[in-house]
Amino acid sequence: MVYLGYGTILPQGKTDLEFIGKYDQKYAGLRFVVEFKYISNAKFKKMKTPVKNFKLKKKDADQLKNYVDSLKKSYPTATIKEYLIYCFGNKGFRVFDI
């Protein structure tokens, strides 16, 4: 069983979504941190790239890394899995497992 968290407030900002393993279950010590990035249809069209070829942006990965580094200070024994999800208007989405 996993608890759903709507984000943790950190010195660097606030995570968008977290799944947190219950302390007394087999997922204890496991955290999933998810960061969402929205790109409008108009902006995505200007990029002229299909969803499947969209590349992870370094600044977004760095933002997520800062959140995870901060969480590691508070939960040093936790296993933290990181995901960045780009939503492209109503054209689709792309998930990156960091």
Report d(CA 98, CA 90) in Å as an integer. 24
Residues 83/34, Cβ–Cβ less than 8 Å: yes
Q: How far apart are the first and last CA of the chain?
A: 23
Query: Which CATH topology does 2-97 take?
Result: Trna Endonuclease; Chain: A, domain 1 (3.40.1350)
| Domain range summary for the chain, segments of one domain joined by + | 2-97
Report d(CA 25, CA 9) in Å as an integer. 25
Residue 53 pLDDT grade (very low, low, confident, very high; cuts 50, 70, 90): very high
Note the pLDDT of residue 91.
94
pLDDT tens readout for residues 11-51? 567 788 888 888 888 888 898 999 999 999 999 999 999 99
Q: What radius of gyration do the chain's Cα atoms show?
A: 15
Q: Please give the average per-residue pLDDT across 73-88, as a whole number.
A: 93
pLDDT of 6 over the 60 cut: no
Predicted TM-score (pTM) of this structure: 0.84
Q: How many CA atoms lie within 13 A of 36 on its CB side?
A: 10
